[in-house]
Amino acid sequence: MNVLIADKFEEEGIAALREAGCAVTIRTGLKDAALADAVRESECEVLIVRSTKVGKEVLAASSALSLIIRAGSGVDTIDVESATTRGIRVCNCPGMNSVAVAELTIGLMIALDRRIVDETDDLRRGVWNKKEYSKARGLKGRTLGIVGMGRIGYEVARRAAAFEMRLIYSDVIARPDLEAELGIRRVELPDLLREADFVTLHVPGGSDTTHLIGAEQLALMKPTAFLLNCARGGIVDEKALAVAIGRGALAGAALDVYEIEPGAADTEFKDPTPKVPRVYGTHHIGASTEQAQLAVAEEVVRIVTAYMTSGKYLNCVNPPKAAIVL
C-alpha cells in the first residue's frame, strides 16, 4: 500500500509502516498544488497529515487516494465534506494527545496567575520587581470553568482537582459519571463565564463553535478572571478579546491556537493577539510532547494496518454507511 506522509511524523511510526509492508513516501512542507502533485506522483492510497491543510485541490489530485489520516484529534484542517463526496475516508487519532494538551493548559494557568512570562521578560531586561509580581491570587479554592468535557476537558479536570480547585463545566452532553468522580458541576455557559476564575476551552473547532467566546461572553467574565484556549483558533473572537483585556474586563489570556495560524510550511506569524499585554502565547504545541506524538504515531499505524489488512476504517469521521468501527 502506498502511503504519503506530508508532515513531521515519528521515526518509529515510519519504521512500523514500512515493516507492515507499506511503500512510504515522505514529502513535508508542501501545500495546495505542490501537495496535490505529490499525492498524484506517489500514487498514494493513504495520506497522513498533521498541520498541513487538505482542500479540494488535493482531494481531486488522484483517484488512488482513499484514506486521509489526521495525526491528531481535530479534523478541521481537512475538507471532510468534499472528501465524503469523493468517497475518501478521513480518520483521526482522538485521545492520544489529551494528557499533553491538559498539561499545557495547567502550565499556562499557573503562568497566568504568577505572570511568569512578564517576570521572565523583566529579568531578561535587567529589571527586578518583586513587589509587582507578589500579587498572584493562587489556584487553591479558585473556580475553573471547563468548556467542553471531552477527553481533554476530563484530563484538565483531574489535574486541576489535585490543585484543590473548584470545578464547573459546560457541555451539550451531561457527564454524571464525571460529576460523581470529580465533584464537578455542570452549568450553562453564561453561568460558567460569570463564576469562573479561569475559563479553559476544550471544544472542537468548526462552524458550530466559531466565536463561541465573543464580546458578549467576555463581558460576563470577572475582571480578575483569565481565559485559556488550547483548543482551536476561531473559538475565541480575538479582536473582542484584545478589546476586553484592554478595558480590564478580564485579567488576561493564554492562547496556544489562533485565528490566523500558519500552516506547516510557513514560518511567519501574522496574528496580532499575542502582542497584546497580558496575553501569553505558545505555538500550537499543546499536543507536542514526545509521549503524545509516539502515541499518535502508534494509532496512525493501527489505522493503516487495519485498512490494509481488512479494509476497515478505524476512528473514521465520515464512515461509509453501515460501517462504523471504533
Catalytic residue numbers, as ranges: 232, 261, 284
| Residue 50 found at the interface with ligand MLT (CB under 6 A) | yes
| Residue 8 found at the interface with ligand MLT (CB under 6 A) | no
Q: Which of residues 55-74 bind ligand MLT (CB under 6 A)?
A: 72-74
Burial 295-317 (b: 16+ CB within 10 A, else e): bbbbbbbebbbbbbeeeebbbbb
Q: Which grid coordinates belong to 16?
A: 512500523
Nearer to ligand MLT by Cβ, of 49 and 139: the residue is: 49
| Residue 151 found at the interface with ligand MLT (CB under 6 A) | no
Phi/psi for 79 (5° steps) reads -80, 85
Residue 113 CA, chain-centre distance (Å), reads: 22
Dihedral sign, Cα of residue 312, residue 13, residue 318, residue 201? positive
- For ligand MLT, which stretch binds (CB under 6 A), given 113-121, 206-214, 240-248, 281-289? 281-289
- For ligand MLT, which stretch binds (CB under 6 A), given 33-41, 170-178, 283-291, 311-319? 283-291
Q: Which of 287, 297, 301, 308 lies at the binding interface for ligand MLT (CB under 6 A)? A: 287
Number of neighbouring beta carbons within 10 Å of residue 79: 21
Report d(CA 197, CA 221) in Å as an integer.
8
- Cβ(77)–Cβ(55) below 8 Å: no
Q: Which of 97, 170, 209, 293 lies at the binding interface for ligand MLT (CB under 6 A)? A: 97
Nearer to ligand MLT by Cβ, of 143 and 288: the residue is: 288
Q: Which of 42, 51, 52, 229 lies at the binding interface for ligand MLT (CB under 6 A)? A: 51
What is residue 282's DSSP assignment?
-
List residues near ligand MLT by CB under 6 A. Answer: 50-51, 72-74, 97, 284, 287-288
